[in-house]
Amino acid sequence: MPQSGLLDRIRVVLSRTSHPGNIGAAARAMKTMGLTRLVLVAPESFPDPVADARASGALDVLHAARVVPTLADALEGTVMSAALTARRRELSVPLALPREAAPELVRHAQAGEVALVFGTESSGLSNEDVALCTLPVTIPANPEYSSLNLASAVQLLCYELRLAALVPELPEAPSEAARFEDIEGFYAHLEEVMRAAEFYDPATSKRLLPRVRRLFGRTRLERDEINILRGLLAALQRKLD
């Protein structure tokens, strides 16, 4: 299965959401991360024009949402489910962080359907709801104010899922890095101009060239940047002569 296909096996379940705007905003958050399967457990108002407005370009995800009466219905057929919950629970269940839970969910998505479950805006998931799920997950928020907006929490978890599912695509190839000999040619040219400007005297300023190398070394020069720099040095030399 292609890795992006794994995201199609992840259901986002919103349980008893009060405000339809949050359902729309959650659909948008999902789609920006490539998730499409929304399940609503007994929402207070759905469908709703406020949800449509907040969904922005994710109306397709919103309108394809499945509405079910109970969380057990929403979880039917899943091989794993993660429940978002606040840090303290009566049950001393070990809580996973999103960064730990996401690869677990993606790994299980290779075996079947998985779910990510969010509770109400005011009180989250009940202990009974959390107990229905495989893995409780908590966002490491500010202990003095940990109340994320529902759609923001959906955004954050879906982001972690996307990263976990698409890992090998992440690093970008460096474009057109300059070669060792090009960079050495630039340093030699720069040294000439610094001498001509009487800015650099090898007898007295031993530390200048190493500092310059350190500066440009950090930047990982590209080939056409070398061309720009050497073009400037050549123009300066013509004026200095």
State which of positions 6-45 bind a copy of itself (CB under 8 A): 25, 28-29, 31-34
User: Would you say how long the chain is, in residues?
Assistant: 241
The answer to whether the beta carbons of residues 132 and 78 sit under 8 Å apart is no
Q: In this complex, which beta carbon is closest to a copy of itself, that of residue 26 or of residue 71?
A: 26
Shortest Cβ distance from residue 164 to a copy of itself (Å)? Answer: 12
> How many alpha carbons fall within 13 Å on the CB side of residue 23?
33
Closer by beta carbon to a copy of itself, 72 or else 167: 167
Q: Comparing C-alpha atoms, which of 116, 131, 104 is closest to residue 41? A: 116
Cβ neighbours around 55 below 10 Å, total? 24
Could you give the CA distance from residue 67 to residue 40 in angstroms, rounded to a whole number?
Answer: 5
CB of 191 to a copy of itself, least distance (A): 11
> What are phi and psi for residue 17, nearest 5 degrees?
-60, 135
Q: Does 86 bind a copy of itself (CB under 8 A)?
A: no
Kindly give the residue spans of alpha helices, DSSP state H, lying in the chain: 3-7, 20-32, 49-55, 59-63, 71-75, 98-109, 127-132, 150-165, 180-196, 208-219, 223-240
Q: Which of 24, 65, 20 is nearest to 44 (CA)?
A: 20
Among 56, 67, 73, 79, binds a copy of itself (CB under 8 A): 56
Q: Which of residues 123, 145, 180, 204 is near a copy of itself by CB under 8 A?
A: 145
DSSP letter assigned to residue 93: P
**Contacting residue, 41, 151, 161, 178, with a copy of itself by CB under 8 A:** 151
Closest contact distance (angstroms) between CB of 92 and a copy of itself is: 6
| 159 near a copy of itself, judged by CB under 8 A | yes
Stretch that binds a copy of itself, among 78-86, 104-112, 124-132, 162-170 (CB under 8 A): 162-170
Name the burial class of residue 112, with classes exposed (0-12), middle (13-18) and buried (19+) by CB atoms within 10 angstroms of its CB: exposed
Instruction: Report yes or no: 42 and 73 within 8 Å, Cβ to Cβ.
Output: no
**What's the closest the beta carbon of residue 68 comes to a copy of itself, in angstroms?**
26
Restricting to residues 176-235, name those near a copy of itself by CB under 8 A: 193-194, 196-199, 208, 211-212, 215-216, 218-222, 224-225, 228, 231-232, 235
Using CB under 8 A, pick the residue from 53, 64, 97, 131 that binds a copy of itself. 97
Q: By the criterion CB under 8 A, which residues form the site for a copy of itself?
A: 25, 28-29, 31-34, 56-58, 92, 94-95, 97, 99, 139-142, 145-149, 151-152, 155-156, 159, 162-163, 166, 170, 172, 174-175, 193-194, 196-199, 208, 211-212, 215-216, 218-222, 224-225, 228, 231-232, 235-236, 238-240
